[in-house]
């Protein structure tokens, strides 16, 4: 029998596992769980990306088909309107004064302006406006009743043109860096012209329009003006300002000019009145304007016109403009830098 000294050591209680031991034991399980979770997250993200991509494809397809369908409808409408406008019935030389046919032409132009505001149809408007103006003041060939009808149709035609030009003006006015200035032109009974400009016009950045307008003549809804760019005038003593004839049918989307590398300008005619029309066509003038006509006449004014001068960024590319290749390349180089 062994002595107490030779007996095996008494059993000791098991050692408690610390955190590291627990982590070592659970490590494979944690790794497997992490991999499973990451795999699920990755699969979910991939599914969401695939779904988003499919949605973009569907949206792009719908928009493309819609645009194609809309363009096709507009092209057919444009063709139908032009065919109808220039048909023999409307342009017949046998009945050039037919009220019904003239109303038809006004209606066609109204539909064109509502659906094709980026198409230059100014010549169609001005040609009809000129015909009506010639009839309105031709006492020898037309009765008072006919002249009043022609006056009413010309007023409607000018309303159509003014609404379209103001619509475009307001759209351009939303561009950053744009300034719009009001100009009033007056001609008294002695044919003296006066120009009143709103010199306080400026945008939120304090930018103004460095252009001065001078009136040359006012005649039956046509306003001849010159545009003097102050910078050019100051640097070139022999500078001769270009002249323009503005009507209700000048559209700022199309009828604008680059006067410097950083700006374009356009001019819109928003109101025109000849006080002699108060006596001739009082019953055909908009009642809301009668008081204005009377005030002008009592003040010795024979003709009155309101213009809007707009300055907007030259980088804006109009619907008739095509950017020069060197400009495109320069922009690409700057973006790369």
- Residue-by-residue DSSP string for 150-189: HHHHHHHHHHHHHHHHHHHHHHHHTSTT-EEEEEEEEEET
Query: How far is the C-alpha of 130 from the C-alpha of 112, rounded, in Å?
Result: 19
Percent of the residues in the chain that have a pLDDT greater than 90, as a whole number: 30
Confidence of residue 1 (pLDDT cuts 50, 70, 90): very low
Domain boundaries, the chain: 86-312
Does 6 score more than 60 pLDDT?
no
Cα-based distances in Å from 67 to 77, 95, 319: 15, 41, 18
3-class SS of residue 256: strand
Averaged confidence pLDDT in the chain: 80
pLDDT higher than 80, residue 178: yes
Give 49's pLDDT tier (boundaries 50, 70, 90): confident
Provide the pLDDT for residue 22. 60
Give the range with max mean pLDDT: 64-78, 101-115, 190-204.
Answer: 101-115
Q: What is the pLDDT of residue 337?
A: 59
Report whether pLDDT(298) > 70. Answer: yes
User: Across residues 245-249, what is the average pLDDT?
Assistant: 94
| pLDDT at position 227 | 85
**Residue 268: C-alpha distances to residues 99, 100, 298 (Å):** 29, 30, 27
Q: Which residue did the predictor score with more confidence, 4 or 158?
A: 158
Q: Does the pLDDT at position 145 exceed 70?
A: yes
- How confident is the model over 157-178, as a mean pLDDT? 92
* Residue 329, pLDDT score: 62
Whole-number pLDDT of residue 113: 84
Burial class (CB in 10 A: 0-12, 13-18, 19+), 174: exposed
Tell me the whole-structure pTM to 2 decimals: 0.71
Residue 119's pLDDT band, with cuts at 50, 70 and 90, is confident
pLDDT band with cut points at 50, 70 and 90 for residue 157? very high
**Mean pLDDT, residues 294-320 taken together:** 86
Q: Where are the beta strands (DSSP E) in 232-317?
A: 243-246, 256-260, 263-274, 301-312
Model pLDDT, residue 222: 93
User: Of 42-46, 89-93, 296-300, where does mean pLDDT reach its minimum?
Assistant: 89-93
Cα distance between residue 21 and residue 27, in whole Å = 10
> Is residue 128 scored above 60 in pLDDT?
yes
The pLDDT assigned to 246 comes to 94
Average pLDDT over residues 55-66: 74
Pairing of strands 301-312, 243-246: unpaired
- What does the pLDDT read at residue 211? 84
Residue 81 has pLDDT above 70, yes or no: no
């Amino acid at each position: 029998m062994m002595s107490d000294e030779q007996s095996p050591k008494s059993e000791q209680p098991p050692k408690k596992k610390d955190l590291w031991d627990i982590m070592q034991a659970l490590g494979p399980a944690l790794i497997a769980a992490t991999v499973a979770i990451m795999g699920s997250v990755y699969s979910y993200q991939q599914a969401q990306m695939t779904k988003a991509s499919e949605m973009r494809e569907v949206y792009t397809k719908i928009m493309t088909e819609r645009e194609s369908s809309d363009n096709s409808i507009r092209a057919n409408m444009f063709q139908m309107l032009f065919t109808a406008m220039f048909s023999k019935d409307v342009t017949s030389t046998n009945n050039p004064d037919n009220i019904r046919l003239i109303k038809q032409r006004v209606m066609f132009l109204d539909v064109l302006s509502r659906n094709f505001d980026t198409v230059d149809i100014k010549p169609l408007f001005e040609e009809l406006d000129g015909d009506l103006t010639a009839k309105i003041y031709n006492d020898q060939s037309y009765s008072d009743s006919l002249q009043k009808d022609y006056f009413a149709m010309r007023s409607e035609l000018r309303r159509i043109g003014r609404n379209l030009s103001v619509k475009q003006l307001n759209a351009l006015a939303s561009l950053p860096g744009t300034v719009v200035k009001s100009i009033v032109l007056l001609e008294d009974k002695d044919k003296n012209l006066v120009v009143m400009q709103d010199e306080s016009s400026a945008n939120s950045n304090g930018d103004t329009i460095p252009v001065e307008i001078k009136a040359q003549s006012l005649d039956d809804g046509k306003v001849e003006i010159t545009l003097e760019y102050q910078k050019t005038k100051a640097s070139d003593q022999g500078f001769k300002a270009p002249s323009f004839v503005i009507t209700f049918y000048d559209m700022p989307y199309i009828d604008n000019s680059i006067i410097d590398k950083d700006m374009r300008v356009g001019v819109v005619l928003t109101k025109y009145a000849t006080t002699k029309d108060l006596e001739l066509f009082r019953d055909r003038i908009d009642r809301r304007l009668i008081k204005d006509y009377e005030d002008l006449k009592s003040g010795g004014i024979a003709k009155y016109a309101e213009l809007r001068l707009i300055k907007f960024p030259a980088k804006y590319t109009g619907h008739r403009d095509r950017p020069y290749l060197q400009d495109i390349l320069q922009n690409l180089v700057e973006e790369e830098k």
